[in-house]
Amino acid sequence: MTESADHKDFVRQIVEEDNASGKWNGVVHTRFPPEPNGYLHIGHAKSICLNFGIAKEYGGKCNLRFDDTNPEKEEVEYVESIKTDIKWLGFDWEDRLFFASDYFEQLYQWAEQLIKNDKAYVCSQTLEAIREGRGTPAVPGTDSPFRNRSVDENLDLFRRMRAGEFEEGEHVLRAKIDMAHKVMLLRDPIMYRIRKVEHHRTGNAWCIYPTYDYTHGQSDSLEGITHSICTLEFENRRPLYDWFCDALEIHHPQQIEFNRLNLTYTMMSKRRLLQLVNDGHVNGWDDPRMPTISGLRRRGYTPESVRSLCAQVGVTKHNATTDMVVLENQIREELNRTADRRMAVLDPVKVVITNYPEGQIENLDAVNNPEDESAGSRQVPFGREIYIERDDFMEDPPKKFFRLGPGREVRLRWAYFIKCTDFVKDDAGNISEIHCTYDPETKGGNAPDGRKVKATMHWVSADKAINAEVRLYDHLFLTEDPDEVEDESLDWKSNLNPDSLRTVSARLEPSLATATEGYRCQFERQGYFVVDKDSTDQNLVFNRTVTLKDSWTKRPDGKK
């Protein structure tokens, strides 16, 4: 736990030092600045928790700002989903919803100012020529032939760029810094490019769009941001962030970089997540296998569990990959405390209790949550024919197998002890029916004579059980690192898990008939499940959020 004790991560330490020194006069103002070009994923959740969390802890504010400077990839759908996901996580930007596109005019005026101060120029080289002129990290770049245009010419050209007189690629506006700078980003970076594309907010008002580097710091500045917290890959861009704030002589926030969240068996690249969606490897951005916030929500994760993961993983400057089990443990821990227990048989095999009266049904009391007495109890119907899990019976069980087998006695949860007397196989050799006798003395699950059984098994009444579609999810990728491929002809897609979704027809105890979307419970001995939005009156659909820990199937002598 990194949260325990009084430990503060290095970002919070900086904030506290600044507060102590009066650097920002005690003001703490952060922002979360997503580009609306995809759905938020759990990596963004870490940034959200950091930015909104710090603001809250230090009596500050956190803005939501959409970094929408590249109209080609941005859509309103993404804006809306991002807002939904932040709220779901439990954070609130109040009245501080901003868009970088709100600042286009100001940014443009500043660009003219830089031109007038001979700190920016219109470059008319081709994309390729600009790239070549930039050199390489080891080799200094060479000046653009347009680098020494007069201020008047630059101004004229830039205004005509805005007016739409040129085609895409004809000109760009570049900052005049140093083509030989050791930091590549400072070799006359591009500030504006011509894009004759409709913007999701500004429509066709603009045909020149500012780049990230020219936009971000100034947007922070305009909003009075004090601590501009971003991920490690922006480290190299900090000198540029600083350069623009200094050149413009405007409020200059401090950029601080932290390590992004990586999880095993998945990946966070928005580009690749989009590809999974577009190529149909998953069923949309909110597919329960996706590491998106909406996917996790649909999978059954709670906002609390996502937030506590973010608190657990810590904030450092070190590239780290967190085990997926850490996330899984968060939701197990929470749902163990809070979720109702229910009985569901995912792979049913029929059991006939030969000495139980035909046609008789009795309702038995079942505790809802042994971890929470206030959750009360419910009744489950028991009868002569029931279903149990196919895995819970073995014709020829090994010694370590505790469950049902010929001659063995087990307990049916909240019901009776039953003993297997016989079983029937179908033509294919599969067990089709198991015959047992029950001991009426053991009603409720206790033997008056004190005899013990090794296993307690879940079950449902064959007559009263309801049907449901249950979707069993597993890791999206086979390997911890999706990029780890055996040879170069393969890529990350070759590591997709073909069995990441398995759908089964299950039989559920009847109390589940009224469950509605978002209802979470534990299917005893199986895992935690949530009712999916695909559910209809005719077809109840459950998603498996996570399995229970299982020390049996992991054993070398445990099958599966």
For residues 521 and 529, the answer to whether their CB atoms sit within 8 Å is yes
Helices of type H across 223-258: 238-248
Q: Determine the Cα–Cα distance for residues 5 and 20; give it in Å rounded to an integer.
A: 21
C-beta closer to RNA: residue 29 or 270: 270
Least Å distance, CB 536 to RNA, is 28
The piece of 66-74, 292-300, 430-438, 536-544 that touches RNA (CB under 7 A) is 66-74
Judge contact between 363 and 410, C-beta under 8 A. no
Q: Where are the alpha helices (DSSP H) in 64-200?
A: 76-89, 104-116, 127-133, 151-163
Q: Catalytic one among 8, 23, 35, 73?
A: 35
Considering only CA atoms, which of 426, 387, 435 is closest in space to residue 408?
A: 435
Residues 306-345 that bind RNA (CB under 7 A): 312-323, 325-326, 329, 332-333, 336, 341
How many residues line the site for RNA (CB under 7 A)? Answer: 94
Residue tagged active-site, from 260, 272, 350, 443: 260
Closer Cβ to RNA, 58 or 501, answer by number: 58
**Of 173, 152, 149, whose CA–CA distance to 161 is shortest?**
173
C-alpha to C-alpha distance for 331 and 308, rounded to whole angstroms: 9
Counting contacts by CB under 7 A, is residue 70 touching RNA?
yes
Within 226-245, which residues bind RNA (CB under 7 A)? 232-237
For residue 416, CA distances in Å to 361, 378, 443, 445, 544 come to 13, 17, 5, 5, 28
Region from 48-56, 102-110, 212-220, 491-499 binding RNA, contact rule CB under 7 A:
212-220
275 binds RNA (CB under 7 A): no
- Does 9 participate in binding RNA (rule CB under 7 A)? yes
Answer for which of 414, 423, 459, 529 binds RNA (CB under 7 A) is: 414
To which H or E segment does residue 530 belong? Answer: strand 527-531
Residues 6+ apart with CB under 8 A from 396: 405
Return the residues of window 279-308 that contact RNA according to CB under 7 A. none
Beta strands in 288-426 (DSSP E): 340-342, 344-345, 348-353, 361-367, 377-383, 385-389, 409-412, 417-425
Site for RNA in 354-383 (CB under 7 A): 369-371
270, 307, 507, 520: the catalytic one is 270
Assess whether 471 carries a catalytic annotation: no
| Nearest residue to 288 (alpha-carbon basis) of 467, 530, 492 | 530
Residue 539 CB, shortest distance to RNA, in Å, is 26
35 counts as catalytic:
yes
Task: Give CA torsion, residues 324, 329, 332, 335, to 10 deg.
Answer: -110
Answer yes or no whether residue 7 interacts with RNA by CB under 7 A.
Answer: yes
Q: Which of 26, 169, 376, 440 binds RNA (CB under 7 A)?
A: 169
Site residues (CB under 7 A) for RNA, limited to 117-136: 125-127, 130-131, 134-136
Contact region with RNA (CB under 7 A), list: 78-86, 273-281, 410-418, 427-435: 410-418
Instruction: Report the residue number, 88 or 146, with the smaller CB distance to RNA.
Output: 146
Which of 116, 196, 400, 451 is in the footprint of RNA by CB under 7 A? 400
Query: How far apart (Å, rounded) are the C-alpha atoms in residues 335 and 141?
Result: 58
Polymer length of the chain: 560
Sole window of 21-29, 108-116, 485-493, 542-550 interacting with RNA (rule: CB under 7 A): 542-550
Name the minimum Å distance from CB 305 to RNA.
Answer: 13
Q: Cα–Cα distance between 158 and 149 in angstroms, integer?
A: 12
The region of 107-115, 246-254, 285-293, 411-419 touching RNA under the rule CB under 7 A is 411-419
Assess 110 for contact with RNA (CB under 7 A).
no
Catalytic (active site) residue 271 = no
CB of 98 to RNA, least distance (A): 13
Active-site residues: which are they? 35, 260, 270
